[in-house]
Structure 1
Amino acid sequence: MNYADTINILTVSELTQSIKSSLELQYRFIHIQGEISNLRIPYSGHMYFTLKDRDAQIKAVLFKGQQRYLPGKIKEGQSIICHGKLSVYEPRGEYQIIVDTMDFTGTGDLQIQFEKLKRRLSAEGLFHSDNKIAIPAFPDHIALVTSPTGAAVRDFLKIASMRKFWGKISIIPVTVQGKNASAEIAAAIEMACCSTDADVLVLIRGGGSLEDLWSFNEERTARAIHEATLPVVSGIGHDTDITIADLCADLHTHTPTAAAEAIIADSGALAKVFSNYKQFLMEKMQRRLGENEEKISNLRRIIGDLDLFLANYHLKLDYQTISLSNCIQRKISHLTAKLENTVDRLRNQAPLQKITHQEQKLLHLRHQLSARIHRTIERKEESFIRQAALLDSVSPLSILSRGYSIVSKEGVPAGGKVIITRSDQVERGAVINVHLHQGELECEVLNKKNGN
């Protein structure tokens, strides 16, 4: 008995259609939370991405017409809640979420780690342009750090072949995804710098999600690129991908193909350019030679006998030289006389000479002042002597010396002196004081006489 006759055999399309009907019937409208990864927006404008958590992932699509309901712009690593329905894409047999709208809840763990490491390394100066090494224009030896079996290395070698690269390309095989990928990449960079004669180091990998490219976002990879003694070119992922390794590299390109185009000159194009320049220069030289030959021929016809022409000019030159020399000599003599005259005028007007003249004038005035002071003092001394003699002639002391005396008694207030000029100013028995020319006498009045 034919076993196939007893069972219902389904085609792939029938099975897929049955699964699609069951899923869409059971999950008419769902709400699912996760983190955006591998976001792509092709020319159609629809958004394709993967919604993932720690243990699983599911594909999702948000059609262009529904994007007007978004609360903001979505980005890689963002945590969201999708509202939509589950569907099966029959040509590939894949199930996915048709997103109707979504709510934003934050940034995913990997994206947070990425931003945190990016800020820290930027603060340390690992991305600064001052640390960048110039890329050689025509390298002879290129070292590729990549997976030897990936599409990235094939794309790079394809460009090298198309551009007829004349040098050497060394492939340093590493794992570009997984737990130990960062350690392998760092070790390969160090080995290329120490053990090869490469001119430039190229780090390439195909596109992928944030998780797929994570080995290029680890600190160990970043520091290995920063410490490399060779210039490092990165060509990782697609046009929208950016990694920490790209920021540390001396030259960042968006794809492996772009990396190859950036460092490998197009030999065919260069040869064509050189050929065009060569042809241009040859034609220009031929034209310039022809023009100069024609000019020389015309000049010979005009000049005629060149020797006679030059001899006449030699005579004219000698005459002009003598004339110029005489003119210069006269000019020098005139300027010398003018200079000497100016020097004499300056000498007469020189501050030092004026200062000397003023010093002499000051000395003369000082002598005059001193003489006047002496004469004034002498006149004052003579006047003083005359006044002193006059004063002495009327001085009481001078009178006392001729035998006169001054009689006084105690007066009021106590301690005061009263000069006695009449006899009625004292009584008999009073004590009086007699001031002589030399010394004093204390006397008692024994008797008195009144009268003029």
Structure 2
Amino acid sequence: MPFDQLSSIKTVSQLTQEIKQLLEGNCRFVTVSGEISNLKVPFSGHHYFTLKDSTAQLRAVLFKGQQRYLSESLRDGQQVICRGRISVYEPRGEYQLIVDTVEQYGVGVLQMKFAALKKKLADEGLFDPERKKPLPAFPKNIVVISSAAGAAIRDFLKICSRRETNAHIMIFPVPVQGDQAPSAISKALTTVNDRIPCDLIVLCRGGGSIEDLWAFNEETVARAIARSHIPVVTGIGHETDTTIADLCADMRCPTPTGAAEMIIPDTARLRQQVQTAASRLQRTILQHLFANTTILSQQWRHLLRFRGRVENLSFRLDPVIERFYRNARHYFQSHQEHLDRVVVRLEHQAPLIQIDYKNQTVQHLQKELTRQIHEILRRNEERLARTAALLQGVSPLSTLSRGYAIVQAQDQSGEQFTVSDSKQVEEGDSLRVLLHKGQLYCEVTEKK
């Protein structure tokens, strides 16, 4: 190769240096608008992210010292305006934007779609707590819907192995990123509900940008979770990531590891709790046994003392019983003798003769009683006749039969009264005259 051609060959460093000088010279200070994506904040505190639009993207960095000018924290999906300078990072041959200030430009397209779908599903009640199904305390069959090769499934299985679970775990592999992921996840949820008997479904994926997690923000996935009659637990992304699937799920966990810790009982901890409970139960039983033994001993001593008193009373009661039996025999014997004497006396008195005599006496008394009754009735009839004649002599009716009359008038209150004086009536008053037979109604025309 000719020497002049060799002199025109540049090294990678030389070419990169020229490009750097060209870019940094011509684009010293620029203002760029775009959507934040792939935001990362390492331990150093610097913000590394990508600015993108529909056709291109640009790497950017906001150093820690410039963050005091931020009006709010940066997040994926934000539409921003960045002011800074273009710089070329020579070790990687990449150019990037060194950001000095960041201003909000508006909510990103994905964030707008997220907010719209969230509002729509919330209005339909898909996020209501009443729809949440309770999780089984000790699931026996668990289906994990995730990527078979991802870190999320490895983290999940690591926790299951560490906790020594006896649950049968089935992995249902699906793509968790890309255009095919939403339909695949929805079909997996439907298939598990229709064909695979299980106690719990776990939907998990590792962390990533909002674009990487977007499959879990699709409406088809959300509705498939809502239709599931099997409880669904999600562990998607990191703790700061919240997807539509998380809101629809029966339980949302911050990470796949958190999901495993939530649904898989810690066997070692449960074993320790059982041992502690067993020890506490054993101590309680021994305490109760000791207390009851003490009480039983005291009762036994009381029983022995009571037994001694019973035996003493028995010794004292035996003579009393003997005396009772002796007195009872004497009592019954004496009464039996008296009864025998009465029987003999009754036999000597001839009861049939006594009965006949008593019958004659009763008949005589009945005749005498009848005679006395008739005599009393006769005397009472005579006394009644005399009294009736006496009453007839003083009766008003007897007086009326001799031509006399009773005159009655009526006062102002309507009461009847007997007139015995002409001053008791006035001319024009109506009078009733009672005769021996009949009545007369008269009017006073004159009085004297």
TM range (shorter): 0.5 to 0.7
Find the counterpart in structure 2 of residue 215 from structure 1.
215
How far is 1:56 from its partner? 2.6
Does 2:338 correspond to 1:292? no
* RMSD of Structure 2 on Structure 1 (CA): 3.5
Report the Cα offset of residue 30 of structure 1.
2.1
Aligned to 2:414: 373
User: Partners in 1 of 2:301 and 2:211 — Cα distance?
Assistant: 85
2:428 alignment partner, one of 369, 377, 382: 382
For residues 103-147 of structure 1, the C-alpha deviation after alignment (integer angstroms, 9 at most, x for no partner) is 211111111111011001000000000000001111001101111
Whether 2:51 is the aligned partner of 1:51: answer yes
Secondary structure of 1:187's match?
helix
- 1:242 is matched with 242
User: Relative to 1, partners in 2 of residues 1:309 and 1:277: Cα closer, same or farther, differing over 3 Å?
Assistant: farther
Are the counterparts in 2 of residues 303 and 309 from structure 1 also a CA contact under 8 Å?
no
Provide Cα deviations, 1:334-377, integer angstroms capped at 9, x if missing partner: xxxxxxxxxxxxxxxxxxxxxxxxxxxxxxxxxxx99923669x
Query: What is the aligned partner in structure 2 of residue 397 from structure 1?
Result: none
Pair 1:120–1:384, CA change in 2 (3 A): same
**Alignment partner, residue 356 of structure 1:** none
Tell me the distance in 2 between the aligned counterparts of 1:196 and 1:311. Answer: 79
For 2:136 and 2:41, the matched residues in 1 are separated by 35
Residue of structure 1 in register with 2:107 after alignment: 107
Q: Which amino acid aligns with 1:82?
A: C
Shift of 1:91: 6.7
In structure 2, the CA distance between the partners of 1:200 and 1:282, relative to structure 1 (3 Å rule), is same
Unaligned runs of 5+ in 1: 313-368, 391-452
Q: 1:217 to 1:300 in 2, by over 3 A?
A: same
Alignment check: 8 A CA contact 2:427 2:445 kept: no
Instruction: Give the structure 2 partner of residue 62 of structure 1.
Output: 62
Q: Please show how residues 305-324 of structure 1 align to structure 2 within 5 Å.
A: 305-307=305-307
Structure 1 position 260, deviation (Å): 0.7
Q: Output the amino acid matched with 2:149.
A: T
SS in 1 for 2:261: helix
**Residues 88, 204 of structure 1: alpha-carbon distance in 2 compared, 3 angstrom cutoff:** farther
- In the TM superposition, residue 17 of structure 1 has moved relative to its aligned partner by 7.1
Contact 2:428 2:445 in 1 (8 A): no
TM-superposed CA distance for 1:14, in Å, is: 8.4
Distance 1:138 1:375, change over 3 A: same
Deviation sequence 1:177-228 (CA, Å, 0-9, x none): 1112111111100111111111000100111111111111111110000010
Alignment CA distance shift 1:131-1:16 (3 Å) = farther
Structure 1 distance, partners of 2:50, 2:293, is: 76
Which consecutive residues of structure 2, in runs of 5 or more, have no partner in the other structure?
313-409, 418-423, 432-441
| Count of residues in correspondence between the two structures | 328
Measured in 2, the distance between the counterparts of 1:234 and 1:310 equals 77
Aligned identity (percent) is 47
Distance 1:384 1:181, change over 3 A: same
CA distance in 2, matches of 1:158, 1:254: 17
Give 1:18 deviation, angstroms. Answer: 7.2
- Partner residue, 2:226: 226
SS at the partner of 1:59?
strand
After superposition, the C-alpha distances for 1:12-34 in whole angstroms (9 at most, x for unaligned) are: x8887776666545543221111
TM-score by length of structure 2 reads 0.64
Q: Return the alpha-carbon distance in structure 2 between the equivalents of residues 161 and 15 of structure 1.
A: 54
What do residues 28-68 of structure 1 show as CA deviations (whole Å, max 9, x unaligned)? 32211111223344554433332221223233222232122
- Could you say what secondary structure the match of 1:138 adopts? coil
CA distance in 2, matches of 1:269, 1:93: 53
SS of residue in 1 equivalent to 2:230: coil
Letter of the structure 1 residue corresponding to residue 428 of structure 2: E
Q: Which residue of 2 aligns with 1:37?
A: 37
Deviation of 1:149 (Å)? 1.1
